Amino acid sequence: MIETTSAVLKIDHLVTQFRTENGYFTAVNGLTLNIGKGRILGLVGESGSGKSVTSLSIMRLLPESSARIAEGTMTFLGKDLVRLPSRQMQELRGHDISMIFQEPGTSLNPVYKVGSQVAEVLLLHQQATSGNVMQRVIELFHEVGIPHPAERIHSYPHEMSGGQKQRVMIAMALACNPQLLIADEPTTALDVTIQAQILGLIRKLQQTRQMSVLFITHDLGVIAEIADDVAVMYRGKLVEQGPIEEIFTNPQHPYTRGLLACRPTLESQKKRLNTVADFMDVVENQATGEYTIVPKHAHSERMVLAEKNARDRLFSPRSEVISLGYDVSAIPENRFIPEGTKPLLSVRDLQVYYPVRTGFLRRVTGHIKAVDGISFNVYRGQTLGLVGESGCGKTTTGRALMRLISFTGGEFDFNGIPWSQLSERNLRPHRRKLQIVFQDPYASLNPRMTVEAHLTEAMAVHQLGASKNDRRDMAAQLLVEVGLKEEHLPRYPHEFSGGQRQRICIARALAVEPEFIICDESVSALDVSVQAQVLNLLKDLQEKRGLTYIFISHDLSVVKFMSDMIAVMNQGRLVEYGPSELIYADPRDEYTRRLISAIPQVSEEKLRQRIAAGNKETAL
Amino acid sequence: MATYIFRRLLLMIPTLFGILVLSFIVIKSTPGDPASGRFGGAAAAQGGMNAERGTEDAEKAFRKNFKLDEPLYVQFFWFVGRIFRGEMIYYTKQGSIWPDLIPAMKITLMINSIVFLLVYLLAIPMGIFSATAPHSTGDRIMTLTLFVLYSLPSFWVAEMLRLGVLESNLGLPVSGLQSPNADRLSLLPWLWDYTLHLVLPILCMTYASLAYISRQMRAGMLEVVRQDYIRTAKAKGCSPARVIWVHALRNSLFPIITLFASLLPALIGGSVIIEYIFNIPGMGKLTIDSVFSREYDMILVTMMLSAVLTLLGILISDIMYVLVDPRVSFESKN
């Protein structure tokens, strides 16, 4: 157990509630937690589990008009934060407890220079005078690893990258040497290589300053990289807590076990992912709103069946893979698409340039090459994974192939049709064959349209189904196929959770009976446990309907789970293109290697190494 | 910045030319012209009355002189030529329009500038007050009052105020800009007299825009206080006042800067009616009188002036945008 004697913060039976139309909704329900001095506590849970509400309760930053701390105490250095007058709380914030947030892009004030935003904390808490404050800011910028700190203090947030902005946030949080740093999903919005750097930085600063950190995340991989202790939250309650080795090697609660099992990993060869539902059932009592968790046996029949029946990875024709420079002599013939098969989608030298205009006459003086001459083939029934960091051009590629945006050069054929050359008018009757599922299920459904309207609109456009009733029946079948129910048809998007909405988006794409679906970061906005369900669904649908996918993601482990072939994109170009397993086993490009090594790993061996290294550093 | 402004000013030229062409066509397509106004019109000419009095020749000469019977494009270029030479005239009185127009323009610009300042100076704190305590009693009262004000048509309010002030003997002047004895007053009493005359017209012109802009300010502020960087400011230990005045205010100005461009022409349009009701010798009154007597030059010049003001308003709001928001640069604004 965690030592309680040296705890910096002791949370005892915290209850935080939100006012709703039908009384109070309890977001945090009797949370008891200790954060030890000089330790990093990882708080894990899915969205809605109450982990962010916990952090905002500690900071007392919840909106007073709609939220209240109903019960409990939070003892921080002998003071109860729940009952502290707001004036004293204000002095504590930024000085003794500080916080960094998920979105570095929106967490900095866009109209002030970053240097002055950091200086503000020092001035507010009288840690510096206006004379020497900028010198202190430059030192802080240096400490958090911002290059050229003396110049960078004069930058505005929009002039910095996401990782740099998060470093500014960290500098701001650490300016007054706080006892406790609360980091609320600080790396979720960042690219995986930047995430690795930021995690390393937080770890290093924590050790040099011996401060305590409450690190909140939904990603167990990140926890494994950084935390000393772990607490798992589910629906406002703490379900399990303990030192990290214990949680990862011997999880007690079925929810924790489910969370650990549902992450796609780079090593795993699984054809389907576990979900939390394989480990537990939740029995709800409708009258009281209470629920009980019933544990299940870990290896469900579903998993066994899926592993046995699901198809193996399907590579492009042997000659094509060999021409890409891979030695595939050891792989059996049935894993390849037969020679001579025509690709369903064939892309040659696709370019998407955006003009840069400067000067008095707004002349085009250069181009931003979002997509800079990429070529690939996708065969029927295959999944091509398109992976890369933000800004690499992967989304632009997807949209250009959909002909949603115009492209500068190159050609692409779809099913023998010169897709890139069709006029908008001639394209329209064919459009249904190529569909897209977007990233954000909240923004990509029209809030004023029912599920039925979403599903049947495109059917009517393409004259699928004989009558309105006919289309309604088809829509109902689709909902069942994606794991929803017929009675959901007349409902509106806001009545569904994120995962359910993404299922609706998938059903909408399927409604027009496409042959090809582009999944553009389609699971990135979802919780890990929901992500596993949606990934399984996509694979099931592919096998059942013979669909072909381009799966676009920044997450190499997800792409590897989904894809037969992988294309790695960097700065608009394909730096590596080949069979998914071979790319992972033997990356040839430096960029791919960096991408792979930056992915947080959950392995006991790595965990032990990290803890040993950490202890050594602490001892020094 | 200078390059940007210069480019924008150059771009105004084609816009203004387009406006000029359109206004010219609209005015020319209204029935009647200065000649018919002066010599009794078509009905009188057909009845042969003018022929008997010998005015038919005079009308012919008048029409020839002002090219009223020439094709439209000839008239247009004749007019454009005179604009560049500054020879804008009254057709009937045969004199230059500038001695009437310039003082009227000064009055209208002064009144509108005062209204403009008042609207923004009052709307910003009112909006902030409403937004910092949304749905409080104060906010509800203010919302209701502003809503009622916004719904009242200004010509009706102006007339009611004028009657009310006359009835109640408040001593507030309701007509013109100066008392009859203004020439004999020394500076301070004269200024006081002038100010009193301005109270009612400015009140009538201010309230509706004030209601609108302060609502926008409230909405903008409510949007901003929900942003992540406001949470960051609180997490730093900023006081509630500092959060609002330092971190939220500058960001919440964007929507009302955008409104700046549309408020200017709306105000000038609105001042036409108010100037008429309070008998103020401004541009509005001058324009209406000219429309009735078909003084083409005067109508077109006042129209062009408001077009220029509108375009300048848009330019000013764009420049302010760049000054307030570092994310917008002159380079990227196109």
pLDDT digits (tens, 9 = 90+) for B205-240: 998 889 999 999 999 999 999 999 999 999 999 999
CA of A306: how far to CAs of A230, A260, A303, A537, B150, in Å? 32, 19, 5, 12, 66
Task: Considering only residues A182 and B75, tell me which one the structure prediction assigns the higher pLDDT.
Answer: A182
Considering chain A, what is the average pLDDT of its residues?
A: 90
Taking the Cβ of residue A120 and every Cβ of chain B, the question of whether any pair is shorter than 8 Å is answered with yes
pLDDT digits (tens, 9 = 90+) for A361-418: 778 888 889 999 999 999 999 999 999 988 899 999 999 999 999 999 999 999 999 9
Nearest-by-Cβ selection for B235 from A59, A91, A156 = A59
Q: Answer yes or no: is pLDDT of A85 > 60.
A: yes
Which residues of chain B are within 8 Å of residue A103 when distances are taken between CB atoms? 228
Position B53 scores a pLDDT of: 59
Taking the Cβ of residue A364 and every Cβ of chain B, the question of whether any pair is shorter than 8 Å is answered with no
Tokens of A124: 């507010």
Taking the Cβ of residue B237 and every Cβ of chain A, the question of whether any pair is shorter than 8 Å is answered with yes
pLDDT digits (tens, 9 = 90+) for B141-181: 998 999 998 899 888 999 999 888 888 877 788 888 888 88
CA of A100: how far to CAs of A61, A169, A223, A229, A483, in Å? 13, 6, 16, 19, 37
pLDDT digits (tens, 9 = 90+) for A115-144: 999 999 999 998 888 889 999 999 999 999
Instruction: Give the chain A residue whose CA is nearest to the CA of B136.
Output: A65
Position A237 scores a pLDDT of: 93
Interface test with A, best of B229, B252, B333 (most A CBs within 10 A): B229
Position A1 scores a pLDDT of: 44
Considering chain B, what is the average pLDDT of its residues?
A: 85
Q: Do A111 and B7 touch (CB under 8 A)?
A: no
pLDDT digits (tens, 9 = 90+) for A594-616: 988 888 877 777 777 777 776 65
Q: Answer yes or no: is pLDDT of A91 > 50.
A: yes
* Confidence grade of residue B38 (pLDDT, cut at 50, 70, 90): low
Nearest-by-Cβ selection for B327 from A110, A120, A125 = A110
Position B295 scores a pLDDT of: 84
Sign of the torsion formed by the C-alpha atoms of A395, A398, A403 and A406: positive
Tell me what percent of the residues of chain A surpass a pLDDT of 70: 97
φ/ψ of A285, rounded to 5, equals: -100, 105
Nearest-by-Cβ selection for B231 from A61, A111, A172 = A61
Residue intervals of chain A classified under CATH 3.40.50.300 are: 311-433+515-534+542-601
Q: Answer yes or no: is pLDDT of A40 > 50.
A: yes
Report how far residue B274's alpha carbon sits from residue B157's, in angstroms, rounded to the nearest whole number: 10
Q: Do A93 and B326 touch (CB under 8 A)?
A: no
Taking the Cβ of residue B51 and every Cβ of chain A, the question of whether any pair is shorter than 8 Å is answered with no
| ipTM tops 0.85 | no
pLDDT digits (tens, 9 = 90+) for A471-521: 999 999 999 999 999 999 999 998 898 889 999 999 999 999 999 999 999
pLDDT digits (tens, 9 = 90+) for A155-164: 999 999 889 9
* Confidence grade of residue A620 (pLDDT, cut at 50, 70, 90): very low
Interface test with A, best of B232, B244, B327, B330 (most A CBs within 10 A): B232
Taking the Cβ of residue A121 and every Cβ of chain B, the question of whether any pair is shorter than 8 Å is answered with yes
Instruction: Give the chain A residue whose CA is nearest to the CA of B2.
Output: A360
pLDDT digits (tens, 9 = 90+) for A189-227: 888 888 999 999 999 999 999 999 999 998 888 998 899
Tell me if A118 sits within 8 A of A98, measured CB to CB: no
Q: What is the mean pLDDT of residues A264-292?
A: 82
Tokens of B20: 């000029």
Taking the Cβ of residue A59 and every Cβ of chain B, the question of whether any pair is shorter than 8 Å is answered with yes
Q: What is the mean pLDDT of residues A329-356?
A: 92
Q: What is the mean pLDDT of residues B31-38?
A: 71
Report how far residue A479's alpha carbon sits from residue A582's, in angstroms, rounded to the nearest whole number: 37
Q: Answer yes or no: is pLDDT of B84 > 90.
A: no
Which residues of chain A are within 8 Å of residue B326 when distances are taken between CB atoms? 110-111, 156, 158
pLDDT digits (tens, 9 = 90+) for B277-323: 888 888 888 888 888 878 888 888 888 888 888 888 889 888 888 88
Q: Do B235 and A357 touch (CB under 8 A)?
A: no
* Confidence grade of residue A542 (pLDDT, cut at 50, 70, 90): very high
Taking the Cβ of residue A140 and every Cβ of chain B, the question of whether any pair is shorter than 8 Å is answered with no
Global confidence as pTM: 0.84
Taking the Cβ of residue A90 and every Cβ of chain B, the question of whether any pair is shorter than 8 Å is answered with yes
For domain A311-433+515-534+542-601, the CATH architecture is 3-Layer(aba) Sandwich (3.40)
Q: Answer yes or no: is pLDDT of A359 > 80.
A: no
Position A198 scores a pLDDT of: 92
* Confidence grade of residue A4 (pLDDT, cut at 50, 70, 90): very low
Taking the Cβ of residue B92 and every Cβ of chain A, the question of whether any pair is shorter than 8 Å is answered with no
Among candidates A226, A220, A120, which has minimal Cα distance to A175? A120
φ/ψ of A379, rounded to 5, equals: -100, 155
Q: Answer yes or no: is pLDDT of A2 > 50.
A: no
The DSSP secondary structure of A479-519, one letter per residue, reads HHHTT--GGGTT--GGGS-HHHHHHHHHHHHHTT--SEEEE
Among candidates B267, B277, B271, B269, which has minimal Cα distance to B161? B277
Q: Answer yes or no: is pLDDT of B94 > 80.
A: no
Taking the Cβ of residue A357 and every Cβ of chain B, the question of whether any pair is shorter than 8 Å is answered with yes
Q: Do B3 and A360 touch (CB under 8 A)?
A: yes
CA of B60: how far to CAs of A237, A446, B56, in Å? 96, 68, 6
All domains of chain B in start order, with CATH:
2-85 (no CATH), 103-152+208-324 (1.10.3720.10)
Taking the Cβ of residue B333 and every Cβ of chain A, the question of whether any pair is shorter than 8 Å is answered with no
Position B184 scores a pLDDT of: 82
Q: Do B327 and A156 touch (CB under 8 A)?
A: yes
Task: Considering only residues B234 and A310, tell me which one the structure prediction assigns the higher pLDDT.
Answer: B234
Identify any residues that bridge with A551 across adjacent strands, giving them in sequence order: A385, A519
Instruction: Give the chain B residue whose CA is nearest to the CA of A88.
Output: B237
Tell me if A175 sits within 8 A of A160, measured CB to CB: no
Taking the Cβ of residue A584 and every Cβ of chain B, the question of whether any pair is shorter than 8 Å is answered with no
Q: What is the mean pLDDT of residues A184-188?
A: 90
Position A134 scores a pLDDT of: 94
